[in-house]
Amino acid sequence: MKSANAVTKPNWFQIGQIIGVFGVRGEVKVKPFMDDPTAALQAKVWGLGESAQGLREVTLVHGRRHGPGLVVKLAGWDSPEAASTLQGQTLWLPREYFPEPEEDAFYWQDLTGCRVVDEADGSDLGVVRGLFSTGSNDVLVVGREGERQERLLPFIRDVVIQVDMENRRLTVRLLPGL
């Protein structure tokens, strides 16, 4: 197995998660976190790790679309046994491989950490801790530092009324029940 130093990569995006071994040559199956996972195959250097802090750079040998996901071969993992140690790991790519988002579109990673304030009274609701998709819309996971309680806010125009990326601030209109 190829050894790589862990480094901090603040401008890298999560592209998928290794979900299992494929075949006998050390290939792995990847569940993608992106609409077009084949775009990731253009990059030869990927990141491997749980967060942008402490990524190991790995080399993509080859990859291909397989159903809804990908099958990839990373240099240094040459057997099913070696590849099985990668299961559950997150894969990352440098931001340079992604186009600039269209107007009124945002990468989840860019929204994470933004301050969220209530339009009605300017109260601080916390920061975006993460996002997830429900199929019909994305959902912001918002919480205050030091508190476990989280608020789930649909990422729709009726709720998120302003996104100020320069100041890393989202202004929201809380609908009844939120």
DSSP state letters, 15-47: EEEEEEEETTTTEEEEEESSS-GGGGGG-SEEE
- Segment 110-168, tens digit of pLDDT: 898 999 999 999 999 999 999 888 888 999 999 999 899 999 999 999 999 999 999 99
Q: Which is nearest to 9 in space by CA: 100, 77, 109, 141?
A: 109
Tell me how crowded residue 74 is: count the other CB atoms within 10 A of its CB: 25
Predicted confidence (pLDDT) at residue 6 exceeds the cutoff of 90:
no
pLDDT averaged over the chain? 90
Non-local CB neighbours of 70 within 8 Å, separated by 6+ positions? 16, 29, 30, 32, 37, 38, 40, 41, 63, 64
d(C-alpha 132, C-alpha 139), whole Å: 5
Consecutive H or E run containing 62 = strand 55-66
pLDDT, one tens digit per residue, over 158-173 is 999 999 999 999 999 9
**What does the alpha-carbon distance between residue 45 and residue 74 come to, in Å, rounded to a whole number?**
9
Ordered structural domains, the chain, with CATH: 6-97 (2.40.30.60), 108-172 (2.30.30.240)
